[in-house]
A and B are shown apart, each in its own frame.
Chain A
Amino acid sequence: MSLKTPLARVRGLGSARSGVSHYWIQRLTAIALVPLTLWFIAGLQSHIGDDYAMMRAWLAQPLTAIFMLLFVLAGVIHMRLGMQVVFEDYIHNETVKLVHFIANTCFAVGLGVACVFAILKISLGS
């Protein structure tokens, strides 16, 4: 049951009914990112002096590629939700805020797709 008037509901102000999902996905990706980020930093640290062929060979390994994909995907989802909260907190003009939300989603999806494509090309392609 809603206490809001139909007009208020049409205007879309108030709860978007997505708060719990936002909270939960942020926590879920946070938990996933704890081991994934530690793996990423440790893995990169042990390959820091590598030449091109060695670095590529490491990234091409199935386990490296799988962990890298998980790290990137959990990362961009977590990043998009977190940046959205920052914009919600500091931008008070609805239009400007909406533009930032759109840009934020495009940025996260764009980065995610670019990373996934690069990882798959390194691992599967030539």
Chain B
Amino acid sequence: MAQTSLKRSRPLSPHMQIYRWPWTMATSIVHRITGVGNTLGTVFLVWWLIAVASGPSAYADFQSVAGSYLGLFVLFGYTWSLLYHLINGVRHLGWDLGYGFDNDAAERSSLVIFALSGLVTIAVWIV
């Protein structure tokens, strides 16, 4: 019982709602969300490959879903999710090597990550 009360009296860090939202926090959370998103998108990838391997009618089924508004929306999201995770992943690799890891630089590069991933995604879909 003494252990329980000891546990209770330990100081807790505030819940994340308490904190002001720096851009680095947003990029970190979105990195994880896009990681999970890429996992879900992989289901689309395997469906596409199996459809091509199976034959024209299976591929036509895939195309009818991929070409629908919902399909295009998901594929657009998958493109952005891959590109965001890729670009922010490169930043993470840079951080691992010690580049741009101070607060100001990380805050600035966070904005670049959002802008760049958005622009490249739009470029992929327009061009």
Contacts and interface: CB of A to CB of B under 8 A. Distances in A.
Interface of A: 27, 30-31, 33-34, 37-38, 41, 45, 52, 55-56, 59, 68, 72, 75-76, 79, 82-83, 86, 111, 114-115, 117-119, 121-122, 125
Interface string B30-63: 0010011011001101100110110010011000
Interface in B77-109: 79, 82-83, 86, 89-90, 92-93, 96
A65 B53 CA distance: 12
Contacts, number: 67
Contacts of B52: 52, 55-56, 59, 118, 122
B36 A27 contact: no
B124 interface: yes
B46 A30 contact: no
A48 B14 CA distance: 48
Given A27-B93, A41-B79, A41-B82, A119 B36 contact: no
Given A115-B45, A118-B52, A37 B86 contact: yes
A45 B82 contact: no
A27 B94 CA distance: 11
A83 B36 contact: yes
B40 to A, nearest CB: 10
- A-B residue pairs, 8 tightest by C-beta: A118-B49, A118-B53, A121-B53, A52-B56, A52-B59, A118-B50, A82-B35, A114-B46
Given A30-B92, A52-B59, A118-B49, 5 more contacts: A52-B60, A79-B35, A83-B35, A122-B49, A122-B53
Nearest to B39: A79
Contacts of A119: 49, 53
A56 B90 CA distance: 32
B36 A111 contact: no
25 contacts: A31-B93, A33-B86, A37-B82, A45-B127, A52-B52, A52-B59, A59-B52, A68-B49, A72-B45, A79-B35, A79-B38, A79-B39, A79-B42, A82-B35, A83-B36, A83-B39, A86-B32, A114-B50, A115-B46, A117-B53, A118-B50, A121-B53, A122-B49, A122-B53, A125-B53
